[in-house]
Amino acid sequence: MAWTRKDLLTMRELEPAEIVTLVDTADSLQEIATRDIKKVPALRGKTVVNLFYEASTRTRTSFEIAGKWLSADVINFSASGSSAAKGESFLDTAKNIEAMSPDVVVVRHSSAGAAELLARELKCSIVNAGDGAHEHPTQALLDLLTIREKKGHFEGLSVAIVGDIAHSRVARSNIHGMRKLGMTVTVAGPPTLIPPFIHELGVKVSYRLEEAIRDVDVIMMLRVQHERMSGGLIPSVREYSRYWGLTLDKLRAHARPDVLIMHPGPVNRGVELSPEVADGPYSVILDQVTKGVAVRMGVLFLLAGSKGAEA
């Protein structure tokens, strides 16, 4: 399917065929990582600005490498040590950056809707690299590429997403993407971390880890943030880890032998994942990171490079 959108903002708004186009494009670009000279001219003369208002290692680096391998000029902007720290509004900063004619702005912001705001106000392409607890579409796409590579298909697969669903943009993007591609999704966690009416998105809800991970093809563990305790949502890390941490014992007792363990990172080792699971044979966590570069190449290519350029 031909790509026609100016922006990539959410998984919610995408058609299933568009998701497959994104995954296929990323898949075809994976090979660049194996080359000795990791550079193709697809985005030569194009400018990509990484506009990051939240700390990020993996996502920002991933977009930067993706842009550079495609020969784009990549500029990193982070809120600290910039005009934002001097009190300039987000919108003003973005408009100033637009005045320098970038082709793509990749935005990460703690406010839900930040990417939609820029898409409405700016003429260049916007990629949502995570907006508050709303969406993180490139994370969902790299998860989908990883799953397809390991399982060969999407239709009929079942996934358990475990942890802080309420505050997770990764969960929301994956729920939309997976549902559109015919997968079954269960969200699981203590009820205080499950947002209200989530079942209306077509997912099952479970309050027990052992039940949620039974017979699923994929277990996606989410990071639990320490501030959730100060907010009174969970009593302690100790208790969370005891009831919601995935250990080898629980995995062997309740999950299928061919299950995939995923995590968007960064992992709290010993909290949501025991080290043996994070580093064990079920884990595809580092594959996810590798696919991340391919997915971001695919996204940048479709948004900025498809007019006449060939990878």
User: 226 to 245, contacts with another protein by CB under 8 A?
Assistant: none
What is the DSSP annotation of 68-122? HHTT-EEEEEESTTSGGGGT--HHHHHHHHHTT--SEEEEEESSTTHHHHHHHH-
Using the rule CB under 8 A, which residue among 36, 101, 191, 200 binds another protein?
A: 200
Distance CA 240, CA 219 (A): 17
Kindly tell me which of 46 and 169 has the beta carbon lying closer to another protein: 169
User: Going by C-beta distance under 8 Å and a sequence separation of 6 or more, which residues neighbour residue 167?
Assistant: 133, 193, 225, 228
User: 97 to 156, contacts with another protein by CB under 8 A?
Assistant: 109, 111-114, 116-117, 131-135
Distance CA 161, CA 213 (A): 9
Min CB(208)–another protein separation in Å: 21
89 sits near another protein (criterion: CB under 8 A): yes
Min CB(198)–another protein separation in Å: 6
Stretch binding another protein (CB under 8 A), from 13-21, 79-87, 137-145, 194-202: 194-202
Using the rule CB under 8 A, which residue among 196, 257, 266, 281 binds another protein?
A: 196
Answer whether 298's CB lies under 8 Å from 30's CB.
no
61 sits near another protein (criterion: CB under 8 A): no
Min CB(117)–another protein separation in Å: 6
Kindly tell me which of 197 and 307 has the beta carbon lying closer to another protein: 197
Stretch binding another protein (CB under 8 A), from 60-68, 87-95, 222-230, 297-305: 87-95
291 sits near another protein (criterion: CB under 8 A): no
Min CB(169)–another protein separation in Å: 6
Min CB(137)–another protein separation in Å: 13
Stretch binding another protein (CB under 8 A), from 191-199, 213-221, 259-267, 278-286: 191-199
Kindly tell me which of 119 and 260 has the beta carbon lying closer to another protein: 119
- By CB under 8 A, the count of residues binding another protein is 24
Q: Which residues bind another protein (CB under 8 A)?
A: 12, 89-91, 109, 111-114, 116-117, 131-135, 169, 172, 195-198, 200-201
